[in-house]
Structure 1
Amino acid sequence: MVIAFLRTIILYVFIIAGIRLMGKRQVGELEPSELVLALLIADLAAVPMQDFGIPLLTGLIPILTLLCLTMALSVLTMKSVKFRAVLCGRPSIIVENGKLRQGEMKKNRFTLDELMEELRMKGVTDLSTVKYAILETNGQLSVLPFAAQQPPTAQDLNLHLPEPGLPVVLINDGRLIRRNLLGRGFNDQWLEKQLKAHKVDRVQDVFLMTVDETNQVCLIEKEGGR
């Protein structure tokens, strides 16, 4: 039992470390080659987890080989546009100037139901308002409306708005992140003042508190915190 526990932990940590070395993009998006890698690693890791007669190193070596191969392919895709197109494919324009390109849909086996679902998720209900809808190599649909359908920006309206910058989390589920508090140049006295301004007694009663670069504070209390 202990051996099974240790073998599982070692394989898990090894795979997580390998995936992390591949970069954050692979975690959030899967190209076809990355999907194959994930399936193969899952299959290779399952065998030494279940069969104690197989040496652990026998399971680690193929996984390490696949990770090294994937990293090598990633370097090649960065260096060669042609190789990237062969390995990852090319984006396909599904909608152009409000009209469907049925040939591209058939080529990518992309159904009308899938298209309408993706458009609804982007807040689009009228196909004629879409300038381009592009099926990306990771399967995501990028929707670009006509310029007349896009909401006006502050620049279009000649408005000069302050840049809020990146909000920093000061309190996360009742826990104070002191390094962020000090990093923004604040202290405990400032924090207490902000809590009183929002009629909150304790840090433990705050679910989320952030502050941006203009010192605008956003505070959300815990439900039933008082």
Structure 2
Amino acid sequence: MEFWSGAESLPIYGFLVRAAIVYLYIFLIVKIVGQRSMGSIDALDFIFGVVIGDILGEPLSDGSVPLTGPMVAAATIAGLHLSLCLIALKTPRFRRVIEDEPIILARNGVILHQQLKKVKITLESFMMDMRLNGASDLSEVDYAVLEMNGQISVIKKSAYDSATPNDLKQTTPNKGYPTVVIEDGHIIEANLKNLGTMDWLRELIHKEGYANPKEIFFMTIDEAGNVYVSPKQTTNQVKKGR
């Protein structure tokens, strides 16, 4: 059992067994914590990955370190991480504490230099991201938004969308930045104040075919008045692929 308890002169096979155990253990932890998109990793996931890697990496390089302590510590960190994620899913206000809000960096083709300074992004780096998003001409940009994962997303003006209404010489209103009104059945009152009253929202919800906000998982309204609604799904609906 030297591969588990550790030894000053741990043989090669001990390191091989340790590597297999740690790999399977990390695989199990990741499966329990849940699948996340690597492209949308946030600060909390990054910290979790770094800490887990540091804790379980030491026994792989130092044969004298027993496996019990690092594996218990890794399980504790994973439990805390999973608990924070579950609390964030259930409590939108707590979600705002552990997840950064999207930050608008450009509006109507105008760069908000104070916002760039706030998030410590240079103009050169911002322009590089614009080019990578196919928006080198800022006059075509309606909004540029720094997302919670550190990437910049671009919303182009309607005239320059891939549907090419500009090619058809049509005048279309700019969609603008969609505002989240309902999230997981909860009304975002701070955002609603910029759009209308509670009575107006209730009337809109009824118009969309829902009795109350709790039936809606996600609802946004853009500056052109376009409404997007994603309803809550029951377990049976998810199984049926609805």
Q: TM-score, normalised by structure 2?
A: 0.60
Is there any run of 5+ residues in structure 1 with no aligned partner, and where?
Answer: 158-226
Partner of 2:71: 60
Partner of 2:96: 85
Q: Distance in 1 between matches of 2:110 and 2:41?
A: 28
**Partner Cα distance (1:21, 1:141) in 2:** 30
Percent of residue pairs bearing the same amino acid type: 30
Evaluate the alpha carbon distance shift between residue 82 and residue 32 of structure 1 in structure 2; reply closer, same or farther with a 3 A threshold. same
Post-superposition offset of 1:62:
0.8
Q: Secondary structure at the match of 1:45?
A: helix
Helix, strand or coil at the partner of 1:24: coil
- Of residues 112, 130, 133 in structure 2, which corresponds to 1:101? 112
| Alpha-carbon distance in structure 2 between the residues aligned to 1:149 and 1:26 | 29
Contact 1:97–1:130 at 8 Å: present in 2 too?
yes
1:111 counterpart letter in structure 2: T
1:127 maps to 2:113:
no
**1:111 is aligned to 2:108:** no
Matches of 1:151 and 1:7, distance apart in 2? 52
Distance (Å, rounded) in 2 between the aligned partners of 1:7 and 1:28:
30
Shift of 1:71: 0.7
Q: 1:12 aligns with which of 2, 5, 23?
A: 23
Q: How far off its partner does 1:51 sit?
A: 2.1
SS at structure 2 position matched to 1:93: strand
In structure 2, the gaps of 5 or more residues are 1-11, 169-242
Say what the alpha-carbon RMSD is for the aligned residues.
2.0
Alignment of 1:119-198 (within 5 A): 119-152=130-163
* Counterpart residue identity of residue 14, structure 1: Y
- The one-letter code matched in structure 1 to 2:122 is T
Rounded to whole Å, the distance in 1 between the matches of 2:54 and 2:37 is 19
> Which residue in 2 is equivalent to 1:161?
none
Shift of 1:153: 7.1
Give CA deviations for 1:159-198 in whole Å, capped at 9, x if unaligned: xxxxxxxxxxxxxxxxxxxxxxxxxxxxxxxxxxxxxxxx
Give the total of aligned pairs.
156
Contact 1:26–1:34 (CA under 8 A) maintained in structure 2: no
Residue 31 of structure 1 is matched in structure 2 by: 42
Give the secondary-structure state (helix, strand or coil) at the position aligned to 1:144: strand
Give 2:192's aligned residue.
none
CA distance 1:70–1:84, change in 2 (3 Å): same
Aligned to 1:42: 53
Q: Which contiguous aligned blocks of 4+ residues in structure 1 show a shift greater than 4 angstroms?
A: none
Distance in 1 (alpha carbons) for counterparts of 2:135 and 2:69: 51
Deviation at 1:43, TM superposition (A): 0.9
Q: Which amino acid aligns with 2:127?
A: M
Letter in 2 for 1:131: D
Deviation at 1:26, TM superposition (A): 4.7
Structure 1 residue 102: Cα displacement? 1.3
Match of 2:13 in 1: 2
- SS state at 2:64 partner: coil
CA distance in 1, matches of 2:89, 2:14: 41
| Compared CA separation, residues 129 and 28, structure 1 to 2 (3 A) | closer
Mean CA deviation greater in 92-101 or 44-53: 44-53
